[in-house]
Amino acid sequence: MTNRLPILTLRAVLGIALACCLALQVVVLPWMSGWVAHENPEVAYMRWPILTLSILGLVCVEVVLVCIWCLLNAVQTSRIFDPQLFGWVDWIVWALAAAAGISFVTLVYLLAAAVGPITVPAFALFATIVALGMMSLMVVMRSLLHQATALRTEMDAVI
């Protein structure tokens, strides 16, 4: 297969991204939230809601990464027109929708709390917009995959 190097490179990137997400969830975010709560007792009440929302957001990212890995397996085995792939794309769409929802809830919570610099809610707004944009893109890509699969099925029937 001529796509061997790009596939291996993408797998390495996906693996590193997944490992980083897991490290953030398990080690970095809990430690950092504890440190912030200890150093800033006036915002300590925000530790658990923000930590929970952050971990849930990372779960959405991990779902997308795993789905992309599975779609990459289909590319490697030349099964790109397999109707079963719609399930993986649907998981990506739903994970991105959940990420947008989590980002929006985080934005509302941060604005209601009205603490800290405006850059933090701005980042949550940015994350919401990016998640919605990526979700829209995946819906379009799913439609293209559906049309290509239908055309492939038609061509196979003709041949």
CB contact at 8 A, 107 and 122:
no
What confidence score (pLDDT) does residue 149 get?
Answer: 84
What confidence score (pLDDT) does residue 151 get?
Answer: 82
107 to each of 37, 39, 94, 124, how far by Cα in Å?
19, 23, 20, 5
What confidence score (pLDDT) does residue 84 get?
Answer: 86
Average predicted confidence (pLDDT) for the chain: 91
CB contact at 8 A, 47 and 36:
yes
pLDDT at 116 over 90: no
What confidence score (pLDDT) does residue 2 get?
Answer: 57
Six token digits for residue 66:
């795993």
pLDDT at 1 over 60: no
What ranges do the domains of the chain cover?
4-158
Q: Which class for 1: exposed (0-12), middle (13-18), buried (19 or more C-beta within 10 A)?
A: exposed
The mean pLDDT value for 92-114 works out to 95
Q: pLDDT tens-digit profile of 73-86?
A: 988 888 888 888 89
CB contact at 8 A, 106 and 78:
no
The mean pLDDT value for 4-20 works out to 94
The mean pLDDT value for 41-45 works out to 89
CA–CA gap between residue 70 and residue 64 (Å, rounded): 10
The mean pLDDT value for 27-33 works out to 95
The mean pLDDT value for 45-72 works out to 95
